[in-house]
């Protein structure tokens, strides 16, 4: 039975058009020579040149990259540790509370998360800046990493670890030499997801950012309130290009790692 009917084809086309057509239009108009974003006046790359000379956007982009790299790295380490505990530790006292605290940011509104973190930073006397944004982004992105890594650990064959332990490895060496390389695609995926969430966040960053640290989404939102300029189209196009390259690279790395893992497992079975 062929389930791909004309209705499904039309629905799929409309769905993809709704998702990607606005981005395609944005990319096209980033090369518009006119200052009016709705009037086409010819092909030009002048706005990319002016964007590279805009110190405010460049400073905000540098802050955003620093925050995204730092918060995603910390969130990946903590999320992987939390996932390992939830999957391997079994039942222990306080497990329900621990898992609830890990997964709470998944369902918590960002406004509540940002406001609570703001009150926390004010209460402990921590000045808002890059550090507070990193802590905030680590808090809400760690749960996403934990979910991704947990799904991989659940299907992990523990006999491989047991074989490493029987051959003389310590538990840490077994994790480092056997478990971590196998779950590496999930860890990398979690890092990329945390990086993307940090790069895109506006609500939580607006609560935890200070005058000395303005992220790119906050800067774009502030500029759009005064009207959309061609520089914003150019900046958005560059962000789309960076994310696209990152996703393609991660897919290729994950695919290569998966193929290598399957080859190693088949070699081990034949041996």
How does pLDDT run across 158-168, given as a tens digit for each residue?
Answer: 788 888 888 88
The pLDDT, as a whole number, for residue 73 is 94
pLDDT category at 1 given cuts 50, 70, 90 is: very low
Confirm if 197 and 212 have CB atoms less than 8 A apart. Answer: no
* 3 state SS of 43: strand
**pLDDT of 19 above 90:** no
Encode pLDDT of 104-155 as tens digits.
888 888 889 889 999 999 988 888 889 999 999 999 899 999 989 988 888 8
Residue that the structure tokens 């995204």 belong to: 68
The pLDDT, as a whole number, for residue 145 is 92
Encode pLDDT of 41-68 as tens digits.
778 888 888 888 888 888 888 899 999 9
Confirm if 179 and 28 have CB atoms less than 8 A apart. Answer: no
Residue that the structure tokens 């329900």 belong to: 96
């Amino acid at each position: 039975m062929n389930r791909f009917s004309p209705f499904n084809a039309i629905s799929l086309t409309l769905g993809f058009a709704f998702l990607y057509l606005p981005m395609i239009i944005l990319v096209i108009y980033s090369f518009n020579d006119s200052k009016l974003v709705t009037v086409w006046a010819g092909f030009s790359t002048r706005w990319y040149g002016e964007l590279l000379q805009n110190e405010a956007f460049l400073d905000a982009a540098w802050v955003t990259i620093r925050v995204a790299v730092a918060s995603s790295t910390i969130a990946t380490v903590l999320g992987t540790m939390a996932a390992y505990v939830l999957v391997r530790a079994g039942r222990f006292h306080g497990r329900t509370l621990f898992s609830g605290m890990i997964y709470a940011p998944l369902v918590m509104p960002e406004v509540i998360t940002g406001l609570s973190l703001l009150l926390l930073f004010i209460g402990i006397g921590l000045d808002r800046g890059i550090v507070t944004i990193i802590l905030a982004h680590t808090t809400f992105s760690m749960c996403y990493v934990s979910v991704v890594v947990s799904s991989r650990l659940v299907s992990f064959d523990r006999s491989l670890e047991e074989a490493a332990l029987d051959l003389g490895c310590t538990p840490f060496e077994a994790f480092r030499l056997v478990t971590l390389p196998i779950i590496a695609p999930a860890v990398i995926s979690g890092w990329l997801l945390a990086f993307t969430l940090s790069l895109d966040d506006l609500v939580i960053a607006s609560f935890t950012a200070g005058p000395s640290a303005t992220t790119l989404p906050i800067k774009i939102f502030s500029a759009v309130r005064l009207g959309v300029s061609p520089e914003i189209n150019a900046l958005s196009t560059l962000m789309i290009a960076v994310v696209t390259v990152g996703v393609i690279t991660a897919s290729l790395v994950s695919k290569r790692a998966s193929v290598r893992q399957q080859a190693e497992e088949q070699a081990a079975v034949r041996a």
